[in-house]
Structure 1
């Protein structure tokens, strides 16, 4: 009888607590996880999930080959690494550069570090499109030499000035 009373007490305690504590947290959105493939990246960019990331204060003329006017966003992982002055950014670091014309997005350049080491640019997935039509991309690939070559002068392939301006 003593065992039955103890069991009942445990059940009662489990059932009478705060309902919120027993409810599992909602599924976490994965929209901030940056894909490392063309189809995934294109679809993800169209969600504008990056829009909540730290960004430059205003669009400005591009200093590279991307477009006439650009606005760069960096994810919190990359921002923390830049803030710390890290020589090599951690896996998951990412940035998105919007190409703008008359305030409208006309394309994107994006990259995400997919490996712990940069491997001469091979540890980064690169993506660029000048066409915002869903499913379209111009240049993409893991370790894309064209992208890595231009970005080689940056801090672990990141050319965006920091702090963001």
Structure 2
């Protein structure tokens, strides 16, 4: 069977890279649905999409489409992935805050958080997979070889 026609086995693991390539398309599709039909997206989220809510939903969807297109078409995808990671982190904090304060129902908060947290986790795992393994401490973040700086390190030897 030719490589291009091979179908992935249903029990094959999905990699972070696979999900990272899919996420911008999800942003574009959901964003487009929300721009064209904010009431439909509002129902999925458990929100009324009338008046100012429709404007807010469309605004968020335009941003999602922009992020998705940027990630799909950029020559420096890593830069767009970083922006998307920050946006997902801020969206997660904002939705969690709104849910905890009772500004939106718990159901709506959980539905929205399923998307924002998914984007956040994929972004973090993707960034970690791209960073070099050398120099990482137990936390998974890069650590400096010598915290005193290069000038002090050379003088103390």
User: Of Structure 1 and Structure 2, which has the larger fraction of its residues in strand?
Assistant: 1
User: Which protein has greater RCO, CA pairs closer than 8 Å, 6+ apart?
Assistant: 2
**TM bracket, shorter-chain basis:** under 0.3
Tell me the TM-score normalised to structure 1 length: 0.23
Tell me the TM-score normalised to structure 2 length: 0.24
User: Of Structure 1 and Structure 2, which has the larger fraction of its residues in helix?
Assistant: 2
